[in-house]
Structure 1
C-alpha cells in the first residue's frame, strides 16, 4: 500500500466505509479491524485536538473515491456511494461516464454500455465483487442499466491489471461492489422513493409518461459483531418517450449533371417504453475470530422492457418504380436535395412492438483462513447466470396489397437543417376505412404473392459462468518483497443464442382487412415530422389472438439459418504476484510484479446451411481450438514527495473475442460453372478465433493535496498485437462434404485475427473543494476531467487504418456542486466526440454506425433534514433531479457528411422527485 499520510478523516472514512476487494479475493477491511481503525483515529484526533467534521453526500463520496485511488497499487478510478442506497447518479453507467477516460453510449435515452480509454464495450470486462458477470446481449459486454445503483456501495475501474485480476481486459475492468455489513459496523435501515416524469408526454395513447422508483436496504450485525447481514431491494418503473427520425440512406438523384444526393427512404416513428426492473441483494458475512472470514453474497435482477413503436415508412428515391413514380427536386444545396416532392407515393403504416424479458443471477461464496502469521489461504466459488427473451414484432398496414395497388399520395419534403425532414401530405393516415391491415409492398412471398403482412423475431440468449479460485498468500518479514500470492482459477462459460424469426401473413390473405374495433386505439400524432395522425392499434394483442399465419424465416432465408449458435469456454489461469515495499533513497516505492498463464479450450456448435430447390438445408457442425497465453504485469508507485506519487505500469493484456463471432456456423452456395473457377463461396463465424492481445504501458502523476482535492495526469500506450477483421480466406468444403463435386477449396468470409495497431492517449483530472482555499467557500467544489485518444489499426500492413468501435477522440466531464448545512445542489456535464457505436438493425442484429458528438447535462438539488435541528425529521432527505437537462439528441449518420443523418432520437427530459429516510 502507499505510504501516503492522509488525514484522520480520510483514514476513518476509508476504514469504515470503503469495501476494498482485491479482484474477487475480498481484502476488505474486516469489522474488527475497521472498528479498531476508527477508534484509533478518534484517539489520534483527541490527542491532537483535531475537530473531525462529519462529511456526507457528494463530498463523502468524493473523499472515499479518492482514498480508493490513493491506496490501490494499480491505476484505478472509483465511484463511492454518498450513503447506503445512493450512488451519485440514477444509474451506474452515468456515474461511470463521469470518470476520466470513460464514456457511455446511450440506448433509449439512458446510459447503457461504456468505453474505457477509447476502447468499446468489447474490450471492457465487468465484475460483481470481483467475479465476471454473464450478460444478456450477444457478446460479453455488460449492460449496466440492469444493475440498480441503489444496491451498490462502490464501483472501481481498473485501468491497469495485476496478476490477481482474473478478468483483465485491454480496455479495463469495472468491478461493482456491494456493501460489507461487518465493515459498515452499525445497524442501518434506508428506504427511498421517487416519482418520475418525461416531458415529451405519452406519445402513444396506450403508454405512460410517469414512473417511479422504490428501494430499501437493511444492514445489521449479530453475535457480538461476528455475523453481518445486508439485504436490499430496488424497484424501478421508468417511462421513456422518443421522437425518432430514421433514414434508409441517401442515393444520388440523376436529374442533372450535378447528381445531388436525395433521401432514399425514411422510417420515422414515435416510441414509448416502460422499463421495469426489480433487483434483490443479500450479503451474509461471518468472522468469528481474526483467522477466519466467510462472505456469501447473492444478487438477482429481473428486467422487463415494453416498447411501442408507431410510424409511417416512406420509400423515397430507392422506392421509385414500386413505392412511387419518382422524386421531383425543387431545391438542392451543396449536393443535397433539400426540398422536393415524392409523386404517387405509397407508404407503410407501422404498429410495431418490442419486448425484452431478462434476468440475471449472481452467487458467490468466499472463504479466507489465516493459518499463521505467514500463511493465508483462500477459496472462492461463484455462479453467474443470465437469460433474455425478446419479441420484435412488425405489423404492416396501408391502402392496398403489394406494389402499385391502393390509393397514393403526393408528399412534399423540406430539409430542416439538423438532418431531419418535414413532410406534407394529403391522405388521412388515421382513417380506419382507408388504412387496412396487410402488406402494402411486395416485400416477401412466404405463402403466396405479396404475402408478408408483418414479421416477428424471437431471439433467446442463455449465458452461464461457473468459477472456482484457490489462492495462498505468504508474508515475508524482511526485504523488499512484502508478500507472495499465488493460485489457480478455473472458469467454465456456456453461451447460446436461439434466433427464431417468422413471416406473418393474415389468415384472411389475400384480402386486406379493417382493423377490428376491439384492437383500435386513439391515433398517434406524427406532427414532429409533419405527417399528422396515424392509425394505431394493439398489434401484439392482434397477433396473440391468432390472426396471422407464421412461416419460419430460416426455412427460406439462408442468413437466418445460421443466426443460432452455442459457444463453450474452459479457462484455467495459474497466477503468481510479488508485492513490493521498499524505498529509493527517502522515497517509498511500492507495487507488484506478476505473471499469469492462461490456458483456454474453446468450441462451438453451429450449422452448415445451403439452399437446395428453394429450401434451406441445415447440417450440424462443431469446431474449436485451444491455446496458452503468458501475461506478465508490473505496477510501481514511487512517492516522490509527501502525498505525491508517480505510477508506472506495464502489462501484456488479453480480451477474448466476441462470442457471436466465435460460432461454428457456415452458410454457402455452390456454382457448377463459375467464371473464376471457385465452385464454393460462403460466410460464417470462426470457432478458432484467438483473443485480442496488447502490450500496454502507463505513467501517471498524482498530487493529493487535500482530503477532497487532487490533481492527476496520465498517459498510456496500448500496442495491439492483433485485431479481429472480417476477411476472405480459403476454406476446404471437402472436410464438410467429402463427396463434393468440383474444386473443394472455396472462399469464405469470416472474422479472423489480422494485423494490429495502437491506441494511445492522455488523461487529466482535477478535484477541488474550494473551502480548502477560503473558509467562506466551504462546501463549494468541482470535479473536472478530460481525455484525448487516438488510434491506428490496420487489417494488413498495407491496408487503410480502420476506426475502432467506441473510440471518441475527446471526452470531457465537469461537475460543479455546493453542499452545506444539509443543502445540496449540483450540475454535471459529460461530452464525447464522434465515435463508432454499436446499434440494433433489422431483425435485432447489431451493426456499427457513426455516432455524432454529444453533451449530456444532468442536475439535482436536495436537502437533508438531519441538518435542520428538527428531531422528528432526522434521517429524512428530499431530492429533485433532471436527466438530460438540455434535451440532447442521440444522432447517427452515414459516411463523413453529418447532414446524412441515419437516426435522430429525441428523448426529452426526465424529472424525478423523491425522498430517502435513514435510521
Structure 2
C-alpha cells in the first residue's frame, strides 16, 4: 500500500511506454472483426446497429478483438474508444467499470472491492453521461444512505458484463449525442438478434472465491446465459439474456475523523494549547504560528461483511418486414441487492489533557495524538453495529423504427421509458446503527507512523473492556433514504446522403427528454450516548469477540503490539429488538423505517434539435473529412421540496445542541430554465500512408446535481452554541460548460498494431459555489443564550463548567428541561429546551450559485498496441497525463475558501496477452496516481493504487471452454489522507478474488 511501491510501479509502466515509443489512446476489444469494421463507420446516432452477413466467418478472441480495435479507432468520427465482448457472453473483465479502466484516460472508483463509477480525463462520475443503446439512462444510488441522495453518477455495479455486447466511450463532443457529459459520453450496447442471423447462444457457470470474507464460506455461484435466434428467413429475431450472481465479501477499514485545518497561532476549541498553558509541555515539535495542522476528532476500526446479489435480464424482439424497415423492441431489467453488516470499535477525543508529536511544517502531520482522562470522567470505548441493506432496480422498455425507404434518406424513430429506483430492503432503513460502550478509559492514543493508524486504549483499574458485563447500550440512529429517477425520451433522427461533391451527408434530428427525480430522506435518532439501558439488563450472550490484527494483514501497523487486539461485536437485529422492547426506540412496532421529512421532486424537460454536415474532400492529395454540427438545447426545471419544519431546540449534552421536529413539513416550489448552443467540429486526414491526424473542437455541458437544484430550505440537525447551518437549493443554476480541443496522431503500422498520441484541453465555466447568508429560521432559539444561562453564570461564576451550568438549569428550571438520569460523574443528563425568551439561533444558510470561477484542464494520452508477429503474444501499454490550474493548497487553513478540481490524476495500463490454438491468457496491470477526491474545509486525497489482474481460458473442444480469472493478485490495499500523509482518513486491506468456470457456446 505504500506510496513508494506505487511510484516504482508507475515508473516501470511509464518506462515501458516510452521504450515502446510511448504513445496514446487505448485498445478497443471488439466482438468480431466483421461486425466491428461495420460499427466503425460514422452513424447518425449511437443507436445505429451493425450487421454481420449470414455466411460470414465469425472470428472471436483477443487477437480478433485487437484487429477490430484498430479499425474502430481508425474509422471513428472524433475521439472514440471502445470495448467489446470477445465472444458471445464473454467480456474482457468481470465488471464493466473494471473493463473501462483499460481505456486510456479512464479511471475508476471502487466500492466494496468492485469497480463502481468512472472518471474520464479527470472528470468524475457526475460529469460522465451513460447511455444504453444510445438512450439516456436514469441513475439511482443511495450513497452512504445517511442523507437525501443527489448524484447523477451512474453505478456500473448494477450491470453484469455478461449481457453486454460492447461499450463505446465518446471523448470528444458531437452534435448528434445527448448532452450531460463533460468528461465523456459512455454508450453501453447490448446484442441484437438480427445482427447475427441464426441460432446462437452461450451458457456459463462459474464459482467465485473472495478471500476478503471474514466469516463463512467465501464461495458463491454465478450463472449467465444468452440465446438468440432468427426466423422467417431472417425477418424476425428474438434474443434473451439472463445473469444471476452472488458474492460474499468483506471490507475491513480504519477510519479517522479530523477537525478543520488550524494555523499554529490559532486558539480554538480543539486546537493545540498555546504557550502558558500547562499542556503545552506535552507537545513535541509543536507546529509554528504559520503552519497548518489538523487534530483527530475520532477513530475506529470497522469490520464489514457484505452480501451482494445481482440479477440482470434482457428481452429483444426485432422485425424486418421489408429490406428497408427494421423495428426493434426491448426490455431491460437489472436488480442489485447489497447487505453490509458492520461492527466497530472506536474512540472520541475531548481535547482536554492531550499530548502529541508533530512533523515539520508548513503542513504539520501528527506522529501521535493522545489524551488522558480522570477516573471519574467516564470516558467511553465505543462498540457499535450498523446495517445497510439496499436494493436498486433499473427497468427500461423501448422501441426503435429505422426506415431506408427513400433513396439516400434514412429516418429513425426511437423512444423509451426507463426507471431506476433505490430503497431499503429491510424494516430499519438504508443506514442504521446502534451504539454501545464500556465506560472507563484512562488513556487513548493514535499512532500515525504506519499505513494503518494504530489505536490503543488503557482502561481504569477494575474496568475490563473485554468483560461483556460492562457493556452499556447507548445512542442509535435509523436513517431512511429513497431515490427514483424516471426518464421518458423520444428522438427522431435522419441522414441524407449526397450523390457527389464535397458534401457527403447531412445528419439531423431532435430529442425530447423528460427527467423526473424523487429524492427522499427521514431519520429516527436517540441521543442517549450516556447510556440507554443498564449493562445489567443487557444479556452477555448478545456479544461475540472479534480480533482486529488479522483483519488488516499486509498493512503496516497491523502487528503493532499496542493496537486494540479484540473488541465485542453484536447482532444488530437482536440489539434493536432488545432496546425496542425496553425503550420502544422504534415505537414498539419492530419497524424502524423513518417517515420522510425531506422529499425533493425535480422535473427537467429538454428539447434539443441538431444538425451535422459531413464533408469529404482531397487535401494535399489525401482524403480528408470535416464535420460541422450544432445542437441547441432548451431545458426547463421545476423543483419542489417537502422539508421538515423544526418546532424547537434542545441542549442535549455539554457541547451538543439539536433541533426538535414535531412532524410538520411544508412543500415549496421553484422554477428555472436555461438554453445552450453547442457547436462541434471534427477534422481528420491521412498525411501519410496508415497515419491519421484528427482535430476536434466542441462545447459540452453537465447539469448540476439534484441537491443543488432542490426547492426548500433544510437545517442541519445538530448545531453549536455559536449557531447552526442549513442549505437551500437553486433550480435556476446553469450547467457546467466546457470548451474542448482534441488533437491526435495515429500510426497503424500493422493490422493489429498501432501507436497514437493525443492531446486534450478543456476550459470549464459555470462552476457552482456557495453563497452564505446569516439568518434566523422558523423562530428557533438557543437554550444556551438566554435568561436561564445568565442566571446560572450569576450564581456559579463566569468560570463555571458546562456541566455545572446544566445542573443549575435542570434544578431551577424543570418546566423547560427534561432530566433523563445521571452520568458516571454524578452530573445530570437530559435535554434543556429553547424558550421564547432565549436569543435566536443564527443559521448560516448556504445557497448554490454559478460562480465566475473557471478552470483549465489539459493532458496527453499515449498508447501502443502491438502483436508479436504470429507468436500469439502481444502487449498493450498506455499512459495518461492530466493537469489542471485549479489545485488545492494544503498550506492554507480551513478558514480560507478554496476552489479545486477533483479527480485529476495520471493513470497507466500494461497488458500482456497470448491467444493461439484455443488458449487465451492475459495479465493486466492498472495504476492510478494520487488524486483529490473531495474538498470543503479540508482536502481529501486517495493515494496511488495499482492492481494486477489475470485471466485464462482454454477451448478444449469447439464451443466448450474452461476459464479462470484472478482480481487483485497482489492483495493491494487502499489508503487516503488529508493535508498531510499522516492525516490518514481511511486505510483498508486488499484481498484477491478468484473465479473459475465452464462456458458452452453454440
2:410 is equivalent to residue 376 of structure 1: yes
2:366 is equivalent to residue 336 of structure 1: yes
- Gaps (5+ residues) in structure 2? 1-29, 142-149, 260-269, 274-279, 288-293, 425-429, 553-557, 588-594, 650-659, 717-721, 779-841, 889-895
Whether the 8 Å contact between 2:81 and 2:169 is mirrored in structure 1 is: yes
* Aligned partner of 2:113 among 106, 109, 112: 109
Whether the 8 Å contact between 1:704 and 1:710 is mirrored in structure 2 is: yes
Give the Cα separation in 2 of the matches to 1:278 and 1:763.
Answer: 36
Whether the 8 Å contact between 2:33 and 2:59 is mirrored in structure 1 is: no
Deviation of residue 91 (structure 1)? 0.4
Q: Deviations over 1:391-419 (max 9, x none)?
A: 211111123xxxxxx44354465444224
Whether the 8 Å contact between 1:662 and 1:685 is mirrored in structure 2 is: yes
Structure 2 length-normalised TM = 0.76
Closer/same/farther in 2, CA of residues 412 and 650 from structure 1, 3 Å limit:
closer
The worse-fitting range, judged by mean Cα deviation, of 385-394 and 67-76 is 67-76
Q: Which secondary structure does the structure 2 equivalent of 1:82 belong to?
A: coil
Give the Cα separation in 2 of the matches to 1:618 and 1:94.
Answer: 43
1:256-335 pair list within 5 angstroms: 256=281, 258-259=285-286, 263-315=296-348, 318-320=349-351, 326-329=353-356, 334=360
Match of 2:170 in 1: 158
* Aligned partner of 1:649 among 670, 692, 696: 696
Deviation of residue 916 (structure 1)? 1.3
Structure 1 length-normalised TM = 0.83
Match of 1:672 in 2: none
2:74 is equivalent to residue 70 of structure 1: yes
Match of 1:606 in 2: 641
* Aligned partner of 1:708 among 739, 744, 752: 752
Q: Which secondary structure does the structure 2 equivalent of 1:68 belong to?
A: helix
1:428-467 pair list within 5 angstroms: 429-436=465-472, 438-439=473-474, 453-467=475-489
Whether the 8 Å contact between 1:384 and 1:465 is mirrored in structure 2 is: yes
2:181 is equivalent to residue 169 of structure 1: yes
* Aligned partner of 1:626 among 673, 678, 689: 673
Q: Which secondary structure does the structure 1 equivalent of 2:407 belong to?
A: coil
Q: Which secondary structure does the structure 1 equivalent of 2:952 belong to?
A: strand
Whether the 8 Å contact between 1:19 and 1:180 is mirrored in structure 2 is: no
Whether the 8 Å contact between 2:40 and 2:72 is mirrored in structure 1 is: no
Match of 1:386 in 2: 420
Match of 2:151 in 1: 139
* Aligned partner of 1:752 among 849, 854, 857: 849
Give the Cα separation in 2 of the matches to 1:769 and 1:67.
Answer: 15
RMSD over aligned CA atoms reads: 3.5
Closer/same/farther in 2, CA of residues 592 and 606 from structure 1, 3 Å limit:
same
Q: Deviations over 1:186-243 (max 9, x none)?
A: 32221112211222342xx5x5533222111111111111112211111111122122
Give the Cα separation in 2 of the matches to 1:681 and 1:299.
Answer: 43
Q: Which secondary structure does the structure 2 equivalent of 1:242 belong to?
A: strand
Match of 1:765 in 2: 863
1:563-574 pair list within 5 angstroms: 563-574=598-609
Give the Cα separation in 1 of the matches to 2:191 and 2:63.
Answer: 19
Deviation of residue 802 (structure 1)? 2.4
Match of 1:857 in 2: 948
Give the Cα separation in 2 of the matches to 1:283 and 1:568.
Answer: 30
Q: Deviations over 1:47-105 (max 9, x none)?
A: xxxxxxx8532222333333222222121011011111111111000110110011101
Would you say how many aligned residue pairs link Structure 1 and Structure 2? 820
1:484-633 pair list within 5 angstroms: 484-504=506-526, 510-513=532-535, 520=542, 522-527=544-549, 528=552, 530-543=563-576, 546-547=580-581, 549-550=584-585, 563-607=598-642, 611-614=646-649, 615-616=660-661, 618-633=665-680
* Aligned partner of 1:247 among 245, 250, 256: 256
Q: Which secondary structure does the structure 2 equivalent of 1:433 belong to?
A: helix
Deviation of residue 707 (structure 1)? 2.4
Whether the 8 Å contact between 2:599 and 2:643 is mirrored in structure 1 is: no
Closer/same/farther in 2, CA of residues 848 and 142 from structure 1, 3 Å limit:
farther
Match of 1:686 in 2: 730
Q: Which secondary structure does the structure 1 equivalent of 2:398 belong to?
A: strand
Whether the 8 Å contact between 2:208 and 2:993 is mirrored in structure 1 is: yes
Q: Deviations over 1:427-451 (max 9, x none)?
A: 6545332223x21xxxxxxxxxxxx
Give the Cα separation in 1 of the matches to 2:726 and 2:209.
Answer: 50
The worse-fitting range, judged by mean Cα deviation, of 88-97 and 856-865 is 856-865
Match of 1:82 in 2: 86
Match of 1:870 in 2: none
Match of 1:826 in 2: 922
Whether the 8 Å contact between 1:19 and 1:183 is mirrored in structure 2 is: no
The worse-fitting range, judged by mean Cα deviation, of 481-490 and 154-163 is 481-490
Deviation of residue 134 (structure 1)? 0.6
Deviation of residue 635 (structure 1)? 1.3
2:683 is equivalent to residue 636 of structure 1: yes
Larger relative CO (CA 8 A, sep 6+): 1 or 2?
Answer: 2
Whether the 8 Å contact between 2:33 and 2:64 is mirrored in structure 1 is: no
Closer/same/farther in 2, CA of residues 801 and 761 from structure 1, 3 Å limit:
farther
Give the Cα separation in 2 of the matches to 1:787 and 1:882.
Answer: 25
Match of 1:912 in 2: 995
Give the Cα separation in 1 of the matches to 2:643 and 2:190.
Answer: 45
Q: Deviations over 1:452-509 (max 9, x none)?
A: x211111000110000111232221111111212221100011111101111489998
The worse-fitting range, judged by mean Cα deviation, of 265-274 and 126-135 is 265-274
Q: Deviations over 1:681-706 (max 9, x none)?
A: 95312111110112111111111222
Give the Cα separation in 2 of the matches to 1:380 and 1:10.
Answer: 25
Match of 2:190 in 1: 178
Whether the 8 Å contact between 2:432 and 2:478 is mirrored in structure 1 is: yes
Deviation of residue 264 (structure 1)? 3.5
Whether the 8 Å contact between 2:398 and 2:417 is mirrored in structure 1 is: yes
Closer/same/farther in 2, CA of residues 221 and 752 from structure 1, 3 Å limit:
same
The worse-fitting range, judged by mean Cα deviation, of 907-916 and 781-790 is 907-916
Closer/same/farther in 2, CA of residues 543 and 339 from structure 1, 3 Å limit:
closer
